[in-house]
A and B are shown apart, each in its own frame.
Chain A
Amino acid sequence: MSRLLSRLFGRLPIGWLQLTHSKTRFASAIAGVAFANVLVFVQLGIMNSMASATLRPYAFFQADIMISAPDANTLTEGGNVARQWLLQALADPEVTAGMGLFIANVTWQRADKALVLTTFGIDPALPGFLDPAIAAKAQVLELQNAGLLDRFTRGLPRDEAAAIRPQTPLTFEVSGDTVTLHDTFAGGGGFGGDGYMMVSDQTFLTLFPARRSAAPDHILLKIAPGADPERVVTRLGALISDKSLRIRTFEAAADEDLTYQQTKRPTGIIFGFGVVIGVLVGLVIVYQVLSTDVADHLREYATFKAMGYPQTFFLGVVLEEALILGVLGFVPGFVVGTTILTVMGRVTTLPLQMTASMAITVFIGTIVFSTLSGAIATRRLAAADPADLF
């Protein structure tokens, strides 16, 4: 290693030799950086899985524009929208179709535990609004009290989910009504509920008698091929009488939902804060190690200064140390982080995983922040005055 670095720098790898001089100190410094990395990886993993969980239900639908109540920050939050705005929207020449979307939680009381299903009421006559894989199975929803179940529902045994087929449907009771599950689709990874269910709007209104057909949760619109959704959104804003409504492209609605989850919801803020803490811990550890190291070698540095080594030489040594700590701390941090995310993902069935982009981001971040710590630590070099050596 020493020879390799020597080749690399064209000089003695003083930083490396200095860092590894005390093995225990070196090991604990690496462990500290690795710990900071693990912290960041776990928090990022949770944030990422929150993001994919937030965006997951948007993928069940194919729409260009969504009209929601002014307080509807997420799919499931906020009030209803009057169906009359759907009719007004259809007056726009480029709006080709519209569908009311109903959303509520259905509790499936099973022998062992209750499963909370985020349930969407859709119009089976308009399969174009559904993801093709779901649309292919949507016809069965025309039947009264029929449902399609998320086969990745948390707490539902996989073999039991696999057994749900049109020939072998499964039924369960919801406050006096019997829901018949005819088939399944790939949902998965919710933070809010255990899984998802698709029913027709008619079935939805049966299950939730308090809800009105004239007031869905959201209105989904499709526009003519080639039309610019942004421009249609602008026109609809002028066209629809209720100016308080949120009229957005479907994409923007998903983005805003995610931003809301990550910056306004306590959980999102906590995990975001966790990343900041991880970065700070790493920064402080590297700074602490390097500045102690500089302080411990002031006499040697002063001697080198007297011999004629320029300031850049010392910066090089400290940055060399920072890079070594960053790179060597990242490796175990990555391994442990991946393990923790995998185990946590298995236990919680949340989509927790190490991604290449996370690894690259954290690696670059580690290098940048280590270098920054090193740069701050070099301020102590000024204390090395060669005139004090005699």
Chain B
Amino acid sequence: MTEDAPVVARGVNHWFGAGEVRKQALHDVTLTIPRGSFTALVGPSGSGKTTVLTLVGCLREVQDGSVRLLGHELKGARSDALIALRRRLGFIFQAHNLHESLTAIENVLMGLMVHGRADGPTERAAAAHALTLFGLADRMDYLPANLSGGQKQRVAIARALVGNPDLILADEPTAALDRESGLNVVDVLKRLGQTRGTTTLMVTHDNRILDRADRIVTLEDGRIVADSAPVG
């Protein structure tokens, strides 16, 4: 089960700053996330949840320990290898970060074009399908300025999913969503886990989501202090 696990972290330590202000954010974090699972990462503010996501997401350099992502060791990896790996991930940020000059469907298309795909009818259809999944069928040609906060976040989620990522990394993605669409997002992610083996690692405090998670990992002061379903 752990061989094809998309994320295998071993003894990860991480520090921010240098000299006097140097501060350890992660202590000996060891974590394996199996394929197709939905894992929730919880913990108080400043406990290191976002730091874990940025390390797994190849957005920060691994300083100490080992992180294997989709079979590739991240520690000491070349930056073009990291860029190639990031294309296999789906990021959902707290802020939607949509491009203001692109319509909803064009923003979603950006998630396909990173794979070298052109702006063609097949791609448009895939982007439209992703938007429809999140109830945005009638908002495809809207600019972000004309969408509500929840709608923008759903466009951002569609953008993260349209390229069929192997792993989805999400940091409190449902904060901007109402109850119903928040649950819909979780349902879609779980369904992708079952049908395609898409793995989700999500930071959240939302109890409704925690109820549906396969597993809850708790961080405190940079240490894993609880794991509802330990692996490996």
Which of B24-32, B100-108, B185-193, B212-220 interfaces with chain A?
A: B100-108
Q: Are A389 and B97 in contact (CB-based, < 8 A)?
A: yes
Measured CB to CB, the nearest residue on chain A to B54 is A387
Q: Are B91 and A300 in contact (CB-based, < 8 A)?
A: no
Name B93's contact: one of A309, A310, A389 (CB within 8 Å). Answer: A389
B119: A residues at CB distance < 8 A: 6, 10-12
Q: Are B102 and A12 in contact (CB-based, < 8 A)?
A: yes
Docked CA distance A291–B113 (Å): 25
Q: Number of residues in B with C-beta < 8 Å to the partner?
A: 32
Contacts across chains A and B counted by CB atoms under 8 Å: 73
Can you list 15 A-B pairs, Cβ within 8 angstroms, ordered by A? A10-B118, A11-B113, A12-B110, A17-B102, A299-B95, A303-B91, A306-B91, A308-B83, A308-B84, A308-B87, A387-B54, A387-B59, A389-B59, A389-B91, A390-B171
A12/B106 contact (C-beta < 8 A), A306-B57, A390-B54 known? yes
Measured CB to CB, the nearest residue on chain A to B59 is A387
Docked CA distance A306–B156 (Å): 13
State how many angstroms separate the Cβ of A237 from the closest Cβ of chain B. 65
Contact with B along A1-28 (1 / 0, CB 8 A): 0000010001110100110110000000
Decide yes or no whether A386 CB sits under 8 A from chain B. Answer: yes
Decide yes or no whether B139 CB sits under 8 A from chain A. Answer: no
**Contact residues of A between 291 and 316, Cβ < 8 Å to B:** 297, 299-300, 302-304, 306-310
State how many angstroms separate the Cβ of B88 from the closest Cβ of chain A. 8
State how many angstroms separate the Cβ of B204 from the closest Cβ of chain A. 13
**Contact residues of A between 355 and 390, Cβ < 8 Å to B:** 386-387, 389-390
Decide yes or no whether B94 CB sits under 8 A from chain A. Answer: yes
User: What is B's interface to A at a CB cutoff of 8 Å?
Assistant: 50, 53-54, 57, 59-60, 80, 83-87, 89, 91, 93-95, 97-102, 106, 109-111, 113-114, 118-119, 171
Q: Are A390 and B50 in contact (CB-based, < 8 A)?
A: yes
B84: A residues at CB distance < 8 A: 308
Name B59's contact: one of A12, A17, A310, A386 (CB within 8 Å). Answer: A386
Docked CA distance A302–B93 (Å): 11
Q: Are A12 and B109 in contact (CB-based, < 8 A)?
A: yes
B111: A residues at CB distance < 8 A: 307
Name B97's contact: one of A11, A17, A20, A300 (CB within 8 Å). Answer: A300
Q: Kindly list 19 other residue pairs between chains A and B, CB separation below 8 angstroms, not including A18-B101, A306-B57, A390-B59.
A: A6-B119, A10-B118, A11-B119, A12-B106, A12-B109, A12-B119, A14-B101, A14-B102, A300-B97, A300-B99, A303-B99, A307-B111, A307-B114, A308-B85, A309-B114, A310-B80, A387-B59, A390-B93, A390-B171
Docked CA distance A308–B85 (Å): 8
Docked CA distance A386–B169 (Å): 13
Docked CA distance A14–B95 (Å): 21
Q: Are B110 and A304 in contact (CB-based, < 8 A)?
A: yes
Q: Which 4 A-B pairs have the closest CB atoms?
A: A308-B87, A308-B86, A21-B101, A17-B101
State how many angstroms separate the Cβ of B190 from the closest Cβ of chain A. 22
User: What is A's interface to B at a CB cutoff of 8 Å?
Assistant: 6, 10-12, 14, 17-18, 20-21, 297, 299-300, 302-304, 306-310, 386-387, 389-390
Q: Are B118 and A390 in contact (CB-based, < 8 A)?
A: no
Docked CA distance A17–B102 (Å): 7
Docked CA distance A150–B97 (Å): 72
A300/B100 contact (C-beta < 8 A), A6-B119, A390-B93 known? yes
Docked CA distance A20–B97 (Å): 19
Docked CA distance A79–B53 (Å): 85
State how many angstroms separate the Cβ of B9 from the closest Cβ of chain A. 17
A17: B residues at CB distance < 8 A: 101-102, 106
Docked CA distance A18–B101 (Å): 5
A304: B residues at CB distance < 8 A: 110, 114
Docked CA distance A389–B160 (Å): 14
Measured CB to CB, the nearest residue on chain A to B51 is A390
Docked CA distance A21–B83 (Å): 29
Measured CB to CB, the nearest residue on chain B to A20 is B101
State how many angstroms separate the Cβ of A199 from the closest Cβ of chain B. 71
Q: Are B97 and A303 in contact (CB-based, < 8 A)?
A: yes
B113: A residues at CB distance < 8 A: 11-12
State how many angstroms separate the Cβ of A308 from the closest Cβ of chain B. 3
Docked CA distance A333–B101 (Å): 27
Measured CB to CB, the nearest residue on chain B to A306 is B91
State how many angstroms separate the Cβ of B33 from the closest Cβ of chain A. 18
B110: A residues at CB distance < 8 A: 12, 304, 307
A297/B99 contact (C-beta < 8 A), A12-B109, A386-B59 known? yes
